């Protein structure tokens, strides 16, 4: 608990997490307001369409997570941390727990905030949380944000430079997975197993949260062959593997 308290103090005494948190909420909820507010009178707003802006908020979350560790390397405060806590694995796990916890809270606020605003702007929309799929699409955003934060934190530990880590996680999150299907013959098969595509499968399933007309009324669905439960396990497994690798590397090299 002491390590968690220390990491919490280090994280919240800097400005970047606060600004990133506000930015993530603003872009996610703002996108929901844009989609809902500009919808035609006859267009049905669903839970899935109200939550589609989560991808933009996740881009800010990965920046927050990467900065949480790379700034320590930049200003050499990580050396003080490792001197005070010789067990580097424990220190980095505590940091992952704090950053992941913050990302989870931001995700829950963003998910329910987007849904609530859509409900306010379009009370006639198909926005009732009547099924497990609907609840996952809203409440699951916090889980996805937390896992994405751990992935970005792991990349930050491996690269140690803010610009490099942020560039890598942003380019991958916003561009790489969308371009993979363009690879001839094997592109679509590879895309089915890309981490953030699989995370999208966890949130949207087979389109149940797109309303009574299924996938026809919402944003594009994931092409992952996994069920939502296995999709979450797969996404979490990738984060765990990356975190383990980053901790092993951190233990073997100089701070």
Give pLDDT tens digits for 30-55.
Answer: 998 888 888 765 567 888 888 888 99
Mean local confidence (pLDDT), 115-129: 87
pLDDT of residue 154: 96
Q: What is the mean pLDDT of the chain?
A: 88
Could you report the per-residue pLDDT of 206-222, keeping only the tens digit for each?
877 775 444 445 667 88
Rounded to whole angstroms, how far apart are CA atoms 128 and 117?
13
Which residues have CB under 8 Å from 12's CB, separation 6+?
A: 18
Specify which residues 185 forms β-bridges with.
none
Alpha-carbon span 241 to 59, nearest angstrom: 21
Average the pLDDT over 3-30 and give the result.
90
| Residue 107 in this model has a pLDDT that exceeds 90 | yes
Structural domain boundaries in the chain: 2-252
Residue 188 has pLDDT above 50, yes or no: yes
Could you tell me what percent of the chain has a pLDDT over 70?
93
pLDDT digits (tens, 9 = 90+) for 47-77: 888 888 899 999 999 999 999 999 998 888 8
Sign for the pseudo-dihedral over CA of 97, 98, 103, 105:
positive
Burial classification of residue 123, based on how many CB atoms lie within 10 Å of its CB (0-12 exposed, 13-18 middle, 19 or more buried): exposed
Mean per-residue pLDDT for 87-97?
Answer: 92
- On the question of pLDDT at 108 being above 70, the answer is yes
The three-state secondary structure class of 85 is: coil
Q: Is 93's pLDDT higher than 80?
A: yes
From CA 238, how far away is CA 170, in angstroms rounded?
Answer: 17
Of 218 and 22, the structure prediction assigns the larger pLDDT to: 22
């Amino acid at each position: 608990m002491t390590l968690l308290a220390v990491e919490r103090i280090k994280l919240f005494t800097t400005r970047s997490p606060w600004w990133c948190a506000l930015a993530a909420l603003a872009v996610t909820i703002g996108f929901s307001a844009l989609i809902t507010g500009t919808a035609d009178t006859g267009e049905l707003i669903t839970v899935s369409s109200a939550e589609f802006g989560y991808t933009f908020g996740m881009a800010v979350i990965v920046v927050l997570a990467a900065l949480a560790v790379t700034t320590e390397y930049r200003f050499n405060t990580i050396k003080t941390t490792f001197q005070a806590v010789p067990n580097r694995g424990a220190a980095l796990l505590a940091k992952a727990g704090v950053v992941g916890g913050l990302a989870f809270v931001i995700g829950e606020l963003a998910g329910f905030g987007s849904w609530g605003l859509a409900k306010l702007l379009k009370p006639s929309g198909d926005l009732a949380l009547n099924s497990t799929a609907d609840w996952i699409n809203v409440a699951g955003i916090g889980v996805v944000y937390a896992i994405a934060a751990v992935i970005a934190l792991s990349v930050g530990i491996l690269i140690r430079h803010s610009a490099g880590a942020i560039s890598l996680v942003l380019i991958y999150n916003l561009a790489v997975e969308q371009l993979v299907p363009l690879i001839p013959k094997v592109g679509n098969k590879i895309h089915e197993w890309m981490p953030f595509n699989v995370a999208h499968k966890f949130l949207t399933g087979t389109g149940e949260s797109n309303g009574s007309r299924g996938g026809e009324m919402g944003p594009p669905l994931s092409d992952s062959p996994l069920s939502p439960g296995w999709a979450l396990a797969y996404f979490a497994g990738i984060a765990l593997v990356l975190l383990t690798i980053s901790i092993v590397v951190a233990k073997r090299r100089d701070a």
